[in-house]
Amino acid sequence: MQLTWEKLGLVFDPELIPERPDWMVNFAQAPNVVIFDSFIRVFFCCRPKPDENKQFVSYCAFVDLDKTDLFKVLNISQKPLLSLGDLGTFDEFGTYPVSVTEDGGELIAIYGGWQRCESVPFNISLGLARSHDKGVSFTKHGPGPVLSHSPNEPFIVTSPKLRKYNDTWYLAYTAGRKWILDEEGRPEIIYKMRMATSKDLVNWTRLDRDIIDSKLGDDEAQACPDIFYAAGKYHMFFCYRQGLDFRSNKNNSYRIGYASSVDLQQWHRDDSKVDLDVSETGWDAEMVAYPTVFELDGTVYMLYAGNGNGKTGFGLAKLHGALG
């Protein structure tokens, strides 16, 4: 069955908020949703201005949207949800991306913490944090990550999406396979989607293999695997791109893909079921990325990021028909 998505437009771009805090200058990356009684809280990651050496950091933030009008902003976070880590820790220079879900009255976050490197630009591992104030602030589980590099996942571990099914936590994420160099000698990471399970959110058992096939060949990069359960099976929406020349060539940049599963282990990829492509002009004319899917009052929606890996904010699409 073909999935038909209607683009509804740009929802949130920090640069369009005149009185935004100075740590939220631009970017609204990797949006994900927690639904409350009268609003939805969209968690995302943003950046302040670069420092004197043109180095960036990244922070987790939220924006509240009216449930009756998802284009109406009710509130934005006034401080970062997580502080940067101490000297030498895995999240010293950024908390990005983040996945937040509700469980038993508290919010659980799995977040990427990144470090600057010398031979390659960055390294990323995944940390755990909890919130008891609906996500206004989070407390880290500790100074170190709960999921990091391993013999078969030697590079970055990132793009977490956390879900709980049948009292088991499932973490879909992306693991770096290799670094490759572009024509100017700039390193770019190639990553594939993976899965791990846990009972306590701290000790994780990795499936230890790629969970979907690559459409663009071995150098396809895959990210942000969001899982949504409906009609007796699991639906995964993710983004993918070419390994090189994706920053300036929109034909090689992120697009949204789809896969389905009945057991969360064996996945069948069929990107033809997603017709959400780049627009001819505007904020999402170069890429569509970082999808997150949620249901509200019987309608399934998707938030997704636009150009520049979310520098232009995130927008909304609506599904016509039902997932099946």
> In Å, how far are 38, 109, 233 from 35, measured between CA atoms?
8, 15, 22
Q: Please write the tens of the pLDDT for every residue from 120-169.
A: 999 999 999 999 999 999 999 999 999 999 999 999 999 999 999 999 99
Helix, strand or coil, per DSSP, at residue 231: coil
Helix, strand or coil, per DSSP, at residue 273: helix
Q: How confident is the model at residue 101 (pLDDT cuts 50, 70, 90)?
A: very high
Q: What is the rounded average pLDDT of the residues 249-264?
A: 96
pLDDT at 271: 94
pLDDT at 3: 81
Q: In this structure, how many other beta carbons lie within 10 angstroms of the beta carbon of residue 178?
A: 14
Q: How confident is the model at residue 185 (pLDDT cuts 50, 70, 90)?
A: very high
Query: Is the per-residue pLDDT at 183 higher than 70?
Result: yes
Residue type at position 225: P
Percent of the chain past pLDDT 70, that is, above it, reads 100
Do 303 and 316 meet the contact criterion of CB atoms below 8 Å apart?
yes
pLDDT at 230: 93
pLDDT at 1: 67
Cβ-based neighbours of 262, under 8 Å, separated by 6 or more: 232, 233, 234
Tell me which residue range forms the domain holding 97: 4-320
pLDDT at 66: 98
> Distance between CA 191 and CA 204 in Å, rounded?
19
Q: What is the rounded average pLDDT of the residues 60-67?
A: 98
Residue carrying the six token digits 């639906």: 235
Quote the tokens at residue 289: 């990325």
| Bigger pLDDT: 11 vs 273 | 11
Do 158 and 147 meet the contact criterion of CB atoms below 8 Å apart?
no
Where are the alpha helices (H) located in 35-89, listed in sequence order?
A: none
**Pick from 121, 119, 89, 133: nearest CA to 111:** 89
Q: How many domains does the chain have?
A: 1
Query: Is the per-residue pLDDT at 322 higher than 90?
Result: no
> Distance between CA 178 and CA 195 in Å, rounded?
18
Q: Please write the tens of the pLDDT for every residue from 198-255.
A: 999 999 999 999 999 999 999 999 999 999 999 999 999 999 999 999 988 999 999 9
pLDDT at 19: 86
pLDDT at 129: 98
Helix, strand or coil, per DSSP, at residue 49: coil
List the end-to-end C-alpha distance of the chain, in Å, as a whole number. Answer: 7
> Distance between CA 257 and CA 68 in Å, rounded?
29
Q: Please write the tens of the pLDDT for every residue from 10-25.
A: 999 999 998 899 999 9
CATH of the domain at 208: 2.115.10.20
Quote the tokens at residue 184: 């100017």
Do 83 and 144 meet the contact criterion of CB atoms below 8 Å apart?
no
> Distance between CA 75 and CA 2 in Å, rounded?
36
Arithmetic mean of pLDDT over the chain: 96
pLDDT at 324: 76
Counted residue by residue, the chain has a size of 324
pLDDT at 214: 97
